């Protein structure tokens, strides 16, 4: 677990529409994988972007009811905990803390949420 | 209904493992034994005709569950354990090696057996079938650059195998008597676009049936003779992808009702109260076809688990499948022949487009090439029976998510 810093400002709150996600590239996150920041029903969540099952970007997934469904094989993950909700995924996505501050969305790569 | 104390599952494919998963997830804490005729840990079959043949996935990459899961979930996995007979009245399960055990409930998840070519020479050693990990391994080593490969059947397995073979540098001929395979399921537009890709990628496509396979003395190659056509296809390797037949032997011997699959009612119940059937081997009473797809198998497992535990059933959902070929992905929901009219979204000439099938103001089927978002929206529109406006479906600027919200 990394230290709590100010985080990275990845977007303004208006940039990510409800039901949409932003893919923050690995060069920005400094985390090894890109991170997907999701907007679901007024809340923001962040998970490792690459699906733990196949080579797919969860930022391209379907976001609904606190879950994201992978575009490739429809594995669903809990946005809050990163836990897989159905097959074919069996491994959780890492979570990252997201904060809304000063009209911006701030990502804290490597800081897991405690879901 | 009280939960059974012991459940034996015959077969270890997706339906079987989904069932075990759902049982434990629902709090079932009785004994759970899984009998796999194959060696090793249960694996997922879709990658066999894709990444496994390509040499990009190893066995550990395609496991349904990691090894530790079986211990954690207290699932007794018996591999290389061929079940010779079941006795529904007392729950007996007899293995080929003579071992027997009993269970309160037996689940048949025996899947399907690939159909062999019903022509002279169809059993030639050059002819491969593709269903298991071992099948894939045997075929993979034949797909060498320059090898002449004849694929018989241009359905899902055949088309995927042909695409892999051509990508590996093989010289591929794809043979099917149907001019546009899959048209009934995904519609003419999508099926036509997909089938045309084969030729564009350098596959020799022949519209014909197969009459016989000829092996000439002293030659490594075989000749695939086509019905009503001159010029046999010379091949080093032949792959037959002409469907499966349900593996109903155990069910038949046990006296269960079998008719193109083990006939099941709600909750995947067979004609005997102690026996459940799931996956490719089961056919829902009143439905003509068995749904031989990944998603259907997973749902069967969940449905059966809930029924065994006496929990309420989940609402049924539209069928969904996918197929990968030539770097493109086909996805389909429902069956296009159920539709009265179709609406196209996207540009067919680009190769990535969606066809929506409507009946009245409801969506009943959707097929798409490389448009996963359309498919996800369509699946929800169908399952939630939301009325749709064809003009909005066709309009690329209309957000399909908004249709879901009414």
Q: Which residues does A contribute to its contact with B (CB < 8 Å)?
A: 19, 60, 62, 69, 71-74, 86-88, 90
Shared domain for B281 and B362, answered yes or no, is no
> Is omega for the bond preceding A20 within 30 degrees of 0, making it cis?
no
Q: Which residues pair with B108 in a beta bridge?
A: B10, B277
Distance from the B66 Cα atom to the nearest Cα atom in chain A, whole angstroms:
8
CATH topology of domain A2-108: Rieske Iron-sulfur Protein (2.102.10)
Shared domain for B255 and B216, answered yes or no, is no
Residue B320 in domain: no
Shared domain for B302 and B357, answered yes or no, is no
CATH number at residue B229: 3.50.50.60
Write down which residue in B308, B324, B348 finishes a domain: B308
Percent of chain A's residues with pLDDT above 70: 95
pLDDT of residue B228: 87
Shared domain for B137 and B169, answered yes or no, is yes
Residues of B in contact with A72 (CB under 8 A): 329, 372
Overall domain count for chain B: 3
Shared domain for B198 and B283, answered yes or no, is no
Distance from the A80 Cα atom to the nearest Cα atom in chain B, whole angstroms:
20
d(CA B313, CA B266): 9
pLDDT in tens, chain B (406 residues): 467 899 999 999 999 999 999 999 999 999 999 999 999 999 999 999 999 999 999 999 999 999 999 999 999 999 999 999 999 999 999 999 999 999 999 999 999 999 999 999 999 999 999 999 999 999 999 999 999 999 999 999 999 999 999 999 999 999 999 999 999 899 999 999 999 999 999 999 999 999 999 998 888 899 999 998 888 999 999 999 999 999 999 999 999 999 999 999 999 999 999 999 999 999 999 988 888 899 999 999 999 999 999 999 888 889 999 999 999 999 999 999 999 999 999 999 889 999 999 999 999 999 999 999 999 999 999 999 999 999 999 999 998 988 887 6
Residue B329 in domain: no
Residues of A in contact with B21 (CB under 8 A): 87
Question: Could you tell me the two tokens for A23?
Answer: 């893919």
Give the residue-averaged pLDDT of A73-83. 95
B371 contacts chain A (CB < 8 A)? no
Shared domain for B147 and B220, answered yes or no, is yes
pLDDT of residue B314: 87
Residues of B in contact with A88 (CB under 8 A): 44, 64
Shared domain for B100 and B123, answered yes or no, is no
Contact assignment for A87 to B295 by CB distance below 8 Å: no
CATH number at residue B397: 3.30.390.30
Distance from the A46 Cα atom to the nearest Cα atom in chain B, whole angstroms:
20
pLDDT of residue A30: 86
Orientation of helix B188-200 relative to helix B156-167, angle to 10°: 30
DSSP annotation of A10 reads: E
CA B69 to chain centre: 24
Residue B317 in domain: no
Shared domain for B165 and B20, answered yes or no, is no
Distances in Å between the Cα of B77 and the Cα atoms of B80, B135, B274, B333 are 10, 22, 21, 33
Domain that holds residue B388: 334-403
Distances in Å between the Cα of B124 and the Cα atoms of B117, B127, B162, B214, B236 are 10, 6, 20, 9, 11
pLDDT of residue B316: 86
pLDDT of residue A3: 45
Shared domain for B342 and B390, answered yes or no, is yes
Whether the per-residue pLDDT at A5 is higher than 80: the answer is no
Residue B265 in domain: yes
Q: What is the pLDDT of residues B298-349, one digit of tens each?
A: 999 999 999 999 999 888 889 999 999 999 999 999 999 999 999 999 999 8
CB-based contact B336:B355 (threshold 8 Å)? yes
Q: What is the pLDDT of residues B126-143, one digit of tens each?
A: 999 999 999 999 999 999
Residue B319 in domain: no
ipTM: 0.82
Residue B318 in domain: no
């Amino acid at each position: 677990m990394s230290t709590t810093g100010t985080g990275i400002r990845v977007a303004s709150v208006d940039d990510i529409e409800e039901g949409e996600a932003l893919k923050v590239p690995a060069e920005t996150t400094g985390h090894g994988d890109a991170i997907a920041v999701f907007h679901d029903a007024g809340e923001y969540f962040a998970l490792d972007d690459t699906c733990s099952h196949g080579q797919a970007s969860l930022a391209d997934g379907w976001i609904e009811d606190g879950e994201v469904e992978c575009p490739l094989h429809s594995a669903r993950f809990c946005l809050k905990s990163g836990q897989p909700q159905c097959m074919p995924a069996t491994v959780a996505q890492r979570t990252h803390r997201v904060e809304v501050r000063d009209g911006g969305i701030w990502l804290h790569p490597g800081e897991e949420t405690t879901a | 209904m009280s939960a059974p104390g012991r459940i034996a599952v015959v077969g270890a494919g997706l339906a079987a493992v989904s069932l075990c998963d759902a049982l434990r997830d629902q709090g079932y804490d009785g004994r759970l034994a899984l009998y796999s005729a194959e060696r090793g840990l249960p694996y997922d079959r879709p990658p066999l005709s894709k990444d496994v043949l390509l040499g990009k996935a190893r066995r550990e990459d395609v496991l349904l569950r990691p090894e530790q899961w079986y211990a954690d979930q207290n699932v007794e996995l018996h591999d290389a354990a061929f079940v010779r007979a079941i006795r529904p009245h007392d729950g007996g399960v007899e293995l080929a090696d003579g071992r027997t055990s009993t269970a309160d409930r037996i689940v048949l998840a025996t899947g399907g057996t690939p159909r062999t070519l019903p022509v002279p020479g169809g059993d030639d050693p050059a002819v491969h079938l593709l269903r298991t990990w071992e099948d894939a391994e045997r075929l993979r080593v034949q797909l060498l650059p320059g090898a002449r490969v004849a694929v018989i059947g241009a359905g899902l397995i055949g088309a995927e195998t042909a695409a892999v073979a051509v990508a590996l540098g093989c010289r591929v001929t794809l043979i099917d008597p149907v001019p546009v395979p899959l048209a009934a399921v995904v519609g003419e537009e999508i099926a036509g676009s997909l089938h045309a890709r084969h030729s564009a990628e350098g596959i020799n496509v022949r519209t014909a049936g197969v009459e016989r396979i000829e092996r000439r003395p002293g030659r490594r190659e075989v000749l695939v003779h086509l019905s009503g056509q001159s010029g046999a296809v010379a091949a080093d390797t032949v792959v037959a992808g002409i469907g499966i037949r349900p593996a109903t032997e155990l069910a038949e011997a046990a006296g269960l009702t079998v008719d193109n699959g083990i006939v099941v009612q709600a909750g995947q119940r067979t004609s005997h109260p102690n026996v459940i059937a799931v996956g490719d081997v089961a056919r829902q009473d009143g439905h003509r076809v068995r749904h031989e797809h990944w998603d259907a198998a997973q749902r069967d497992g969940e449905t059966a688990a809930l029924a065994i535990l006496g929990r309420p059933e989940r609402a049924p959902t539209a069928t969904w499948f996918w197929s990968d070929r030539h770097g493109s992905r086909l996805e389909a929901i429902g069956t296009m022949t159920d539709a009265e009219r179709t609406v196209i979204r996207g540009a067919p000439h680009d190769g990535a487009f969606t066809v929506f099938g409507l009946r009245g103001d409801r969506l009943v089927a959707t097929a798409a090439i490389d448009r996963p978002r359309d498919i996800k929206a369509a699946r929800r529109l169908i399952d939630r029976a939301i009325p749709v406006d064809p003009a909005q479906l066709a309009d690329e600027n209309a957000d399909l998510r908004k249709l879901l919200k009414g």
